[in-house]
Structure 1
Amino acid sequence: MSGRTSSDGPITLHRGDLPDGLDLGNCVAIDTETMGLKPCRDRLCLVQLSSGDGSAHLVQIIPTRPGGPPADCPNLKRLLSDPAVTKLMHFARFDVAILQHTLGITVAPVICTKIAARLVRTFTDRHGLAALCREMLGVEMSKHQQSSDWGAPHLTPEQLAYAASDVLYLHALWNRLESLLIRENRRDLAQACFDFLPARASLDLLGYDEADIFAHRA
């Protein structure tokens, strides 16, 4: 079901699904906003997308009824599961899990800038998106709307601007991080981590988010 679309400059809000025929290219920045941080409990409310051109498309996920499953969003699901489209995320482990759980798809292929940062920026523990954008791109990001009510039927302009900011800089950030991965000879290792993310998300959804199945203990 695709509902109304509204635009505010470079931010376009779509209610229910992406419009037919929208082409965002072969590498799309993706982020999500939810009612909480437990994918099996908390509702997916918003999916943000950007092709890296300075604009963002936001899809508000509409439930079929209060507390019910989301209405079908075939265009969004097609893009997220398209093997020809790379999904660029920050902390992809969570976003992949909530998308796979809610939409019933496999989200791949994926690149995660947080994993990339942790592989090459071992001199610091600042791997959050705001810190990386500040230190690597000179961009200041506001996090004032991070804990707002994303399940509200009508999102404020401040919420939309915050949500869009989480995808607008991912392409530039990945370009910087990939060059560091290549410099440090860790690009292949990073790719192996990225390729594992759909399975890692499935393990989280099965309850293995804390138990380490690779650990040598009962």
Structure 2
Amino acid sequence: MSIFFHEEDLPENILADGPVAVDTETMGLITPRDRLCLLQISDGHGDEHLVRFGVNSDFAAPNLRAVLADPNRLKLFHFARFDLAAIEHYLKVTAAPVFCTKIASRLTRTYTDRHGLKELVREMLGQDISKQQQSSDWGGPILSDAQKDYAASDVRFLHRLHAQFTEKLEREGRSELAQACFDFLPHRARLDLAGWPEIDIFGHS
């Protein structure tokens, strides 16, 4: 297992075919204000790739954008709604099709209200990940080894979680419902970007 660090784009043809795990790090939680600093991606074969974007980046990243926009490649996320909005806003692509482990967890692990990635990895995979660097400064000129390892860990386990959740969703008869939720996620992200982040447009009031 290795962590590879890249500036502004992925090298060409560096990922194997098949699903990719994706995550982002930003300067905060308000997407149009808090710029995209880092995108993590893994093909599930043991390596993680970190792509850093500078403060004046144009986010051109043709190789990365091609992977994210590939309609034949499944993208695995944890809390996809946030990452999809950041990718759409800064990289100008819709990352689809999508599988979100947080939604899968809410649909299958109904015995708990703990659906964070750390909890899923501990319960389902028997491993611990540190969230100590979660709120660190991702826009600084140098990322520490601890930051890089934290960022990589956010995509390291998603392929294995995807395999287990696919089985759980089938077991509970919720695969079609989950797929409908996943298909809607890019639209949910666009609603966030358009100004409806906290408003339930399906609600009565």
Both proteins in one fold, TM over 0.5? yes
Please name the residue that 1:27 is paired with: 19
Please name the residue that 2:169 is paired with: 181
* Secondary structure in structure 1 of the residue aligned to 2:14: coil
Q: Is the 8 A contact 1:11 1:55 kept in 2?
A: yes
Does residue 40 in structure 1 map to residue 32 in structure 2? yes
Please name the residue that 1:159 is paired with: 147
RMSD, aligned CA: 1.1
TM-score by length of 1: 0.91
Q: Write the distance in 2 (CA, Å) between the matches of 1:42 and 1:63.
A: 11
Which of 87, 94, 97 is the equivalent residue of 2:85? 97
In the TM superposition, what is the alpha-carbon distance from 1:62 to its structure 2 partner? 2.2
Q: Write the distance in 2 (CA, Å) between the matches of 1:201 and 1:19.
A: 27
Q: Is the 8 A contact 2:15 2:42 kept in 1?
A: no
* Secondary structure in structure 2 of the residue aligned to 1:205: helix
Does residue 148 in structure 1 map to residue 136 in structure 2? yes
Counterpart residue type for residue 33 of structure 1: E
Please name the residue that 1:51 is paired with: 43
Counterpart residue type for residue 17 of structure 1: D
Q: Write the distance in 1 (CA, Å) between the matches of 2:155 and 2:74.
A: 14
* Secondary structure in structure 2 of the residue aligned to 1:56: strand
Please name the residue that 2:10 is paired with: 18
99-108 vs 163-172, greater mean Cα deviation: 99-108
* Secondary structure in structure 1 of the residue aligned to 2:133: coil
- How many residue pairs match? The answer is 205
After TM superposition, the runs of 4+ consecutive aligned structure 1 residues lying more than 3 A away are: none
**Against the structure 1 CA distance between its residues 60 and 215, is the aligned structure 2 distance closer, same or farther, given a 3 Å change threshold?**
same
Counterpart residue type for residue 54 of structure 2: I
Q: Write the distance in 2 (CA, Å) between the matches of 1:24 and 1:215.
A: 43
In the TM superposition, what is the alpha-carbon distance from 1:104 to its structure 2 partner? 1.2
* Secondary structure in structure 2 of the residue aligned to 1:153: coil
Q: Write the distance in 1 (CA, Å) between the matches of 2:16 and 2:141.
A: 26
Q: Is the 8 A contact 2:79 2:100 kept in 1?
A: yes
Counterpart residue type for residue 44 of structure 2: G
* Secondary structure in structure 2 of the residue aligned to 1:178: helix
Q: Write the distance in 2 (CA, Å) between the matches of 1:71 and 1:96.
A: 15
Unaligned stretches of 5+ residues in structure 2: none
Q: Write the distance in 2 (CA, Å) between the matches of 1:167 and 1:112.
A: 12
Does residue 118 in structure 1 map to residue 118 in structure 2? no
Q: Write the distance in 2 (CA, Å) between the matches of 1:59 and 1:51.
A: 14
Unaligned stretches of 5+ residues in structure 1: 1-8
Please name the residue that 2:199 is paired with: 211
